[in-house]
């Protein structure tokens, strides 16, 4: 009798569980976009960028038809994209999200974003962007995002350490290596920069600067060239720097990196315009005010640069009010009030014309030794055209980061790049995409 | 650990037969009423996700061409399992877990036994104080413990590393060779105290007459500990082994936190992290489900082996 009861109980348990599992989540069908003249409603906005709460508040104050509820989430590397992707799949994602350019094609190809075309004034927004910026947010004839910042890769140096080594600001990568050697001669414990194994996007930017094209489309297939010639050149060069200990292999944004910046063990940061706040926070306590300068990244002979980072705003599939979301995105990406509302945060360099001077005025760059925004402007003018991100950046990102883990154990940058190529092609093919090498 | 239900008394007067029936009837219904909330939540929170994961693991999202169209959900049988088992990082993650067990279990179980036997020794002083101190690390949540140890391992920030440097020893706790022992160290620090309590409690159940007899026979404290107490608490040791093995297979927190501090720990370092990466970074929920089922099956097989081994020992 007891055993039968137990069996009955177990069977009913399984049955009820199966029923519950049966109501599994199926993604909601995309609502057909209908242009709404005067959108109203309440929308949610997720972002990890500092100061966005003030921008949302400014939008709410400027009009009464749309109310924006802001929620801060961890940045991408710390699980922000995992949280966003899971929420959208489960059906309770935000209306407006912030996604960086490398990850954008992945969200589009997973069907997690709604195209903006039907809801925005294209002439006033998308059509005013440069071709390179447009290429980052348009896929298959639809616009999936409005870009926020266009972040040129920037090199930051301690001017006093460069002076101590007796070198000027390096113009070419050759100069950079020479400067590194001279620095080692006068300060053996110091490194000219760090090589960050956790920043695969930086490797991509360096390859982009050198003219590489990791991802491209040929008809209906992807062409993947993570280890093409230009990237090989970059990989071998940085391996030389690592071997000569001119750069220190360490994770960016780790405690070790912060400690080294403060103590002077690392005197240069290869970052972007947005690195300014991070450098200031980590070094002002050790009295380095006025010693940090921004400079154009060293090049291979003629001025060239690439985007490193940069975010865009999107409407997710979970949004039930895409018209209102689009209005807010237009405000975020193109309105001067949005930039000044953000206040003194994150030395932003905006994609939409006319906004960068506003950002420059609101950001207090007195900590730095030169006019960082004029450097940003110069760098922006030399961006190498023709770069495209692939349909699943995470496969390449993870493969590179994992391979870089072997760098302190005899691994080489070139090996890492080659293994990333293999992993990317295999991973994309596993998802059913057609890939050419 | 389930205790046996008390057996019904075989001898029963016929008069007591009917009321006993009636009582057990109402008792059964009342019990069912009280148990329903538990079983509902259990079904929703524990059983349903397992069944959903099993279903997910047999399907896959298929895209075509450039991948910007809608994905189709297709039945792929054991394909996801094959992909997981063929993935280098998954298999090397399992190998790493084996190595982790080889380092961790002797250290932790040995340490817990040593502490428990010392605490139980007749000559032990300030027993409560030492019990508290040994247990205190376990009171620290796993994530916090990993963060603290990450600081203690990071060169430039850690006092331990700088003290060793001044002594002339240059140790990098986070490089490729040292990172596994370093993580084992965190786990040993966290769990030894907990298992000391389990073993100490088991030691209290050792009949004092046996110990007195051994003392009369001339056994010293150490001899008594090794030859008498240890064999008598072997059931408790096998329980600890069971829980430890299952816990080790689910290793996730410590490597995740340490991976932020060093590039030696990749994002797919252990099978659980591989499943997390598949689900949340690569957005391949089906492969993640397959990996999770594989880990669960390994846990089931290992628990069965440990239980068989310990019950054969008992017999």
Residue ranges covered by each domain of chain B? 79-314
CA distance B299 to B296: 5
Q: Which of B69, B281, B289 to mutate to test the interface with A (most CBs of A within 10 A)?
A: B281
In this predicted structure, what is the pLDDT of residue B311? 73
CA distance A84 to A48: 11
**Would the CB atoms of A256 and B155 count as touching at under 8 Å?**
yes
In this predicted structure, what is the pLDDT of residue A328? 94
CATH superfamily, with its number, for domain A41-150+310-362? Periplasmic binding protein-like II (3.40.190.10)
In this predicted structure, what is the pLDDT of residue A419? 92
Closest residue in chain B to residue A218, using alpha carbons only: B66
pLDDT band per the 50, 70, 90 thresholds, residue A3: low
pLDDT band per the 50, 70, 90 thresholds, residue A392: confident
- Residue ranges of chain A assigned to CATH 3.40.190.10: 41-150+310-362, 153-308+392-436
Phi, psi of B64 (to 5 degrees): -145, 165
Strands B59-62, A96-100: pairing kind: unpaired
The whole-chain average pLDDT of chain A stands at 87
In this predicted structure, what is the pLDDT of residue B3? 47
CA angle B251, B256, B260 (to 5 degrees): 155
Assess whether pLDDT exceeds 80 at residue A23. no
Closest residue in chain B to residue A262, using alpha carbons only: B156
Chain A residue numbers touching B49 (CB-CB < 8 A): 21
In this predicted structure, what is the pLDDT of residue A376? 93
3-state SS assignment for residue B158: coil
**Would the CB atoms of B268 and A434 count as touching at under 8 Å?**
no
CA distance A97 to A79: 14
Residue A13 is nearest to which of B39, B150, B157, comparing CB atoms? B39
CA distance A164 to A173: 20
The whole-chain average pLDDT of chain B stands at 86
Mean pLDDT of all residues in A239-265: 91
pLDDT band per the 50, 70, 90 thresholds, residue B17: very low
Radius of gyration of chain B (CA): 26
**Would the CB atoms of A430 and B83 count as touching at under 8 Å?**
yes
Residue B281 is nearest to which of A14, A82, A404, comparing CB atoms? A82
pLDDT band per the 50, 70, 90 thresholds, residue A9: low
Radius of gyration of chain A (CA): 24
* C-beta separation of A170 from A421 below 8 A: no
In this predicted structure, what is the pLDDT of residue B228? 86
Residue B283 is nearest to which of A85, A217, A434, comparing CB atoms? A85
Q: How far is A277 from chain B (nearest CA, A)?
A: 21
User: What would the pLDDT profile of A344-367 be if each residue is shown by its tens digit?
Assistant: 877 889 988 888 888 888 888 899
In this predicted structure, what is the pLDDT of residue A324? 93
**Joined tokens for residue A195:** 């090589």
Query: Per mean pLDDT, which range of A74-78, A176-180, B144-148 is the poorest?
Result: A74-78
Q: How far is A301 from chain B (nearest CA, A)?
A: 32
- Residue A316's beta-bridge partner residues? A113
Report the CATH fold assignment for A153-308+392-436.
Answer: D-Maltodextrin-Binding Protein; domain 2 (3.40.190)
Mean pLDDT of all residues in B30-35: 91
Q: What is the pTM of this model?
A: 0.80
Phi, psi of A283 (to 5 degrees): -120, -10
In this predicted structure, what is the pLDDT of residue B208? 87
**Would the CB atoms of A24 and B52 count as touching at under 8 Å?**
yes
In this predicted structure, what is the pLDDT of residue B25? 57
**Would the CB atoms of A408 and B261 count as touching at under 8 Å?**
no
Mean pLDDT of all residues in B252-272: 90
Q: Which of B263, B264, B269, B291 to mutate to test the interface with A (most CBs of A within 10 A)?
A: B263
Mean pLDDT of all residues in A207-218: 92
**Joined tokens for residue B98:** 């084996």
Mean pLDDT of all residues in A250-274: 91
Report the CATH fold assignment for B79-314.
Answer: MetI-like fold (1.10.3720)
In this predicted structure, what is the pLDDT of residue A7? 54
Strands A311-316, A113-114: pairing kind: antiparallel
pLDDT band per the 50, 70, 90 thresholds, residue B22: low
User: What would the pLDDT profile of B266-279 be if each residue is shown by its tens digit?
Assistant: 888 999 999 998 88
pLDDT band per the 50, 70, 90 thresholds, residue B16: very low
In this predicted structure, what is the pLDDT of residue A67? 94
**Would the CB atoms of B64 and A434 count as touching at under 8 Å?**
yes
**Would the CB atoms of B280 and A86 count as touching at under 8 Å?**
yes
What is the secondary structure of B241-259 as a DSSP string?
A: HHHHHHHHHT--HHHHHHH
Taking the CA atoms of A267, A272, A277 and A281 in sequence, report the sign of the dihedral they define: negative
Mean pLDDT of all residues in A309-332: 93
Closest residue in chain A to residue B48, using alpha carbons only: A17
In this predicted structure, what is the pLDDT of residue B20? 53
Q: Does B98 touch chain A (CB under 8 A)?
A: no
**Joined tokens for residue A147:** 């870009």
**Joined tokens for residue B46:** 């524990």
Chain A residue numbers touching B260 (CB-CB < 8 A): 251, 254
Q: How far is B302 from chain A (nearest CA, A)?
A: 24
């Amino acid at each position: 009798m007891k055993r039968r009861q137990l069996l009955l109980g177990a069977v009913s348990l399984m049955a009820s569980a199966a029923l519950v599992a049966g109501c599994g989540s199926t993604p909601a069908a995309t609502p057909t976009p209908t242009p709404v003249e005067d959108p109203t409603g309440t929308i949610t906005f997720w972002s990890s960028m500092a100061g966005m709460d003030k921008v949302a508040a400014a939008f709410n104050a400027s009009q009464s038809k749309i109310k924006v509820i802001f929620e801060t989430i961890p940045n991408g590397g710390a699980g922000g994209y995992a949280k966003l992707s899971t929420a959208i799949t489960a059906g309770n994602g935000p209306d407006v999200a912030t996604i960086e350019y490398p990850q954008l094609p992945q969200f589009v190809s997973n069907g997690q974003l709604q195209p903006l075309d039907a809801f925005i004034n294209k002439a006033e927004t998308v059509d005013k962007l440069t071709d390179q910026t447009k290429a980052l947010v348009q896929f298959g004839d639809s616009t999936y995002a409005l870009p926020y910042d266009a972040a040129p890769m920037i090199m930051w140096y301690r001017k006093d350490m460069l002076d101590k080594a007796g070198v000027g600001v390096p113009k070419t990568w050759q100069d950079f290596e020479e400067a590194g050697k001279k620095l080692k001669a006068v300060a053996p414990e110091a490194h000219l920069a760090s090589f960050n194994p956790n920043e695969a996007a930086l490797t991509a930017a360096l390859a982009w600067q050198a003219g590489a094209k990791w991802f491209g489309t040929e008809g209906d297939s992807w062409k993947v060239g993570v280890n093409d010639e230009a990237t090989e050149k970059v990989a071998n060069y940085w391996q030389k720097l690592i071997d000569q200990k001119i750069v220190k292999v360490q994770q960016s944004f780790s405690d070790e990196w912060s400690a080294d910046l403060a103590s002077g063990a690392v005197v240069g940061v290869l970052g972007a315009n947005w690195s300014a706040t991070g450098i200031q926070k980590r070094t002002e306590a050790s009295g380095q005010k006025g010693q940090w300068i921004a400079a154009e990244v060293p090049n291979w002979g003629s001025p060239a640069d690439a985007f490193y980072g940069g975010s865009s705003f999107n409407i997710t599939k979970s949004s039930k009010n895409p018209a209102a979301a689009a209005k807010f995105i237009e405000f975020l990406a193109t309105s001067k009030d949005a930039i000044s509302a953000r206040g003194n945060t994150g030395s932003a360099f905006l994609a939409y014309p006319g906004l960068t001077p506003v950002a420059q005025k609101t950001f207090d760059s007195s900590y730095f030794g030169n006019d960082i925004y004029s450097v940003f402007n110069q760098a922006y003018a030399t961006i190498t055209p023709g770069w495209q991100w692939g349909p699943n950046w995470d496969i390449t990102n993870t493969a590179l980061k994992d391979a870089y883990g072997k760098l302190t154990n005899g691994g080489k940058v070139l090996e890492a790049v080659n293994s990333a190529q293999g992993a990317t092609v295999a991973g994309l093919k596993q998802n059913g995409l057609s890939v050419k090498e | 650990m389930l205790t046996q239900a008390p057996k019904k008394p075989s001898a029963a007067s016929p008069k007591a037969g009917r009321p006993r029936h009636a009582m057990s009837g109402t008792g059964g219904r009342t019990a069912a009423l009280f148990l329903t909330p538990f079983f509902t939540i259990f079904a929703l929170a524990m059983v349903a996700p397992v069944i959903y994961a099993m279903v997910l693991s047999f399907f896959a999202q298929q895209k075509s061409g450039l991948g910007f169209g809608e994905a189709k959900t297709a039945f792929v049988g054991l394909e996801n399992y094959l992909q997981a088992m063929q993935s280098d990082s998954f298999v090397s993650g399992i190998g790493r877990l084996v190595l982790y067990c080889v380092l961790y279990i002797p250290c932790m179980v040995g340490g817990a036994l040593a502490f428990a036997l010392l605490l139980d020794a007749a000559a032990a002083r300030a027993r409560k104080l030492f019990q508290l101190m040994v247990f205190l690390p376990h009171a620290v949540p796993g994530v916090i413990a990993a963060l603290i140890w990450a600081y203690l391992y990071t060169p430039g920030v850690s006092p331990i590393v700088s003290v060793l440097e001044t002594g002339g020893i240059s140790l990098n706790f986070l490089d490729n060779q040292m990172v596994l022992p370093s993580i084992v160290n965190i786990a040993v620090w966290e769990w030894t105290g907990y298992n000391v309590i389990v073993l100490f409690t088991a030691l209290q159940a050792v009949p004092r007459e046996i110990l007195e007899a051994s003392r009369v026979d001339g056994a010293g404290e150490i001899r008594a500990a090794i030859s008498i107490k240890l064999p008598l608490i072997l059931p408790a040791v096998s329980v600890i082994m069971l829980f430890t093995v299952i816990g080790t297979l689910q290793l996730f927190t410590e490597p995740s936190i340490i991976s932020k501090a060093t590039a030696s720990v990749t994002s797919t370092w252990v099978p659980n992290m591989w499943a997390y990466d598949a689900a949340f970074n690569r957005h391949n929920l089906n492969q993640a489900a397959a990996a999770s089922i594989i880990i669960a099956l390994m846990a089931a097989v290992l628990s069965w082996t440990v239980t068989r081994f310990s019950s054969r020992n008992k017999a």
